[in-house]
Copies of this chain bind each other. A is one copy, B any other.
Amino acid sequence: MQEHEKVFQDYLATKGLKLTRTRALILNTVFDMHEHFDVEALYDKIKTLTDSISRATVYRCIPLLKDANLIQQSMRTSSRDSFEHIFGHPRHIHWICSKCGTIVETDYEELTPILNRSAKRIKFAMGELKLNIYGLCWKCQSSENENQ
């Protein structure tokens, strides 16, 4: 049994729920996707593995994975919520190119102490943290110049 399966099972147990075959399939597919994904893409991928899966079941599993700290909702791409697995990965900043959609990730390291200080000042108990920066990646900057 893989580490993330154990984590999910433990979380589900605290809610009186079980790690069923279907939930395990969804979980493992999530950890096989190494990009950000939306629920539709996840559903499509699972459909290639089994023919009996309902979109509703996939949607129902998402909040469970989220509460178990196995995935996070990271951004919103063309009207769909976009997720990624975070178990075993540190959370990170997303630099999103508004032109080509490329996403670059950097870590929070330098920001953390500053944010902790701010949190303390305003007496805020930090939970989820989401920093998305939109702009142009280096490729799209150069192609902008070409077009001039």
- Residues of A whose CB lies within 8 Å of any CB of B are 76, 93, 95, 97-98, 104, 106, 110-111, 114-115, 118-119, 121-138, 141
Contact = CB atoms under 8 A, between A and B. Distances in A.
Given A125-B136, A129-B133, 9 more contacts: A95-B122, A106-B118, A119-B135, A124-B136, A127-B133, A127-B136, A128-B134, A130-B132, A130-B134
B95 A124 contact: yes
Nearest to A98: B127
A133 B135 contact: no
Contacts of A125: 135-136, 141
A11 to B, nearest CB: 18
Given A129-B133, A131-B130, A138 B114 contact: no
A122 B106 contact: yes
Given A93-B118, A110-B114, A118-B106, A124 B135 contact: yes
22 contacts: A106-B121, A110-B114, A111-B114, A115-B133, A122-B138, A123-B138, A123-B141, A124-B133, A124-B136, A124-B137, A125-B135, A125-B136, A125-B141, A126-B133, A127-B135, A127-B136, A128-B133, A129-B134, A130-B130, A130-B132, A130-B134, A131-B131
